[in-house]
Structure 1
Amino acid sequence: MKLSATLLLLFSAGASAAVPSLDDENWEDMTAGKTVFVKFFAPWCGHCKSMASDWEKLSDEWAGNAVGLVAEVDCTMDDTEDICEENNIEGFPTIKFGDPTALEDYEGQRDYDAMAAFAKENLKPVCSPKNLDACNDEKKGIIEKYQAMTVEDLDAAIDGVEKQIEDADNKRDEEVEKLQETYERLMEEHDVTTKRLKVENNIGLMKAVKATLAETKDEL
């Protein structure tokens, strides 16, 4: 008998049967109208295995919730390739949250208490084009402004912001590289200076004489 994709996901190594498993086919239906907390994982990942029980416990607490969904995606499966690629998953586990169409990175601790507190604070209705009831007047105005733009104009605007972010990242990397070079130069200068001072002042002999004098004093 051929098992369905959902059953295969549930029984795959590293996945918890109690945690909703998302794939390319069911993603839209299962996340519709939800604010999500999603773990992207691989069955062989040690860190994924170590947090599996905490994630299952958290998912159980949110099961059936009208607003929040705690789920997981096995990025080693053929039918999750699109989701994992669209969300730029490069390492495991990667945890994301928020609007399913615009997930944000979760950067908190990965123990149960921290994740449960985060879920309680953040798995609430979020403002989005599909959930205008959660938007204040300012956000509604911004959405209306974007909805009046063409897809091409939105692409250009998004590309512009992402280019600025990329430039900021590059500038940071350049400055960090400069700091690294400065650090290495200072360490080298420090080593040269300390070695010179030790040699010029015969600090080794000074310490040896001091030790001898101390021994002589003790004998007296």
Structure 2
Amino acid sequence: MKPDWDKLMKEYASSSSILIADVDCTAGGKSKCEEVGIKGYPTIKYGDPDDLQDYSGGRSFEDLQKFAKGLGPMCSPANRDLCSDEKKKQLDEYMTLDASKRESMIKEKESQIEKLESDFKTFVDGLQKQYQEGSDKKDKDVEAIKSSGLGLLKAVHSYAKKQKGEL
């Protein structure tokens, strides 16, 4: 995907309204990646830099190029005219709040997301533990069946067939 992404960045290098860029989340861009919630690589985000959205489309150059052609300014405080009436109402509500209230609301919502992530991790860890226990039990039970004489039974059966000329 990296060569296609680099090709797309070159195609939009001179654009005044669309920025196609990449960030190395393992080096200098680590804090930005944490800030926008990147958990795996490669991850593609788009939209307002303060409200990046997850991209879930195709990863070929053609798919990325088609998506990029549809990009442009989005609903935001700087582009109210692009907002639905519902989003304008929400923007107005948020604009009337003082900075400390907005920060408090942001922290609360981010905390809710962190709890959802933590709960999901606990759920997945539980599934992993159940899987491992089930796999270990299956392996033990299969070994017990084999140890109970399955191999010898198969050998006797094959030998008997040979003796009767069935093979």
Instruction: Classify the TM-score, shorter chain.
Output: 0.7 to 0.9
Question: What is the one-letter code of the residue matched to 1:214?
Answer: K
Structure-1 residue corresponding to 2:68? 119
Q: What is the correspondence of 1:73-152 to structure 2 with a 5 Å cutoff?
A: 73=23, 85-88=31-34, 94-121=43-70, 123-152=71-100
Deviation at 1:162, TM superposition (A): 0.8
CA separation of 1:218/1:114 partners in 2, compared to 1, >3 Å: closer, same or farther? farther
Q: Distance in 2 between matches of 1:162 and 1:135?
A: 24
Superposition RMSD on alpha carbons, in Å? 3.1
Deviation at 1:57, TM superposition (A): 3.0
User: Which secondary structure state, in structure 1, belongs to the residue aligned with residue 164 of structure 2?
Assistant: helix
CA contact (8 A) 1:68 1:124 kept: yes
Q: Which has the higher contact order (CA 8 A, sep 6+)?
A: 1
What do the CA deviations read for 1:55-92 (whole angstroms, capped 9, x no partner)?
24323444555643323456799xxx5x7634437876
Structure-1 residue corresponding to 2:106? 158
Deviation at 1:190, TM superposition (A): 1.6
Question: What is the one-letter code of the residue matched to 2:125?
Answer: E
CA contact (8 A) 1:129 1:143 kept: yes
Question: What is the one-letter code of the residue matched to 1:218?
Answer: G
What's the TM-score once normalised by structure 2's chain length? 0.78
* Percent identity for Structure 1 against Structure 2: 37
State which of 112, 136, 145 in structure 2 corresponds to 1:197. 145
Structure-1 residue corresponding to 2:2? 51
Q: Distance in 2 between matches of 1:131 and 1:87?
A: 25
Q: Distance in 1 between matches of 2:25 and 2:142?
A: 53
Q: Normalized per residue, which structure has more helix?
A: 2
User: Which secondary structure state, in structure 1, belongs to the residue aligned with residue 139 of structure 2?
Assistant: helix
State which of 110, 126, 132 in structure 2 corresponds to 1:184. 132
User: Which secondary structure state, in structure 2, belongs to the residue aligned with residue 69 of structure 1?
Assistant: coil
Deviation at 1:173, TM superposition (A): 1.1
Deviation at 1:170, TM superposition (A): 1.0
Deviation at 1:97, TM superposition (A): 1.3
CA contact (8 A) 1:51 1:110 kept: no
CA separation of 1:87/1:205 partners in 2, compared to 1, >3 Å: closer, same or farther? closer
Q: Distance in 2 between matches of 1:55 and 1:216?
A: 68
Q: Distance in 2 between matches of 1:166 and 1:63?
A: 35
Q: Normalized per residue, which structure has more strand?
A: 1
User: Which secondary structure state, in structure 2, belongs to the residue aligned with residue 130 of structure 1?
Assistant: helix
Q: Distance in 1 between matches of 2:108 and 2:153?
A: 66
Question: What is the one-letter code of the residue matched to 1:96?
Answer: K
What's the TM-score once normalised by structure 1's chain length? 0.62
Structure-2 residue corresponding to 1:217? 164
Q: Distance in 2 between matches of 1:183 and 1:87?
A: 32
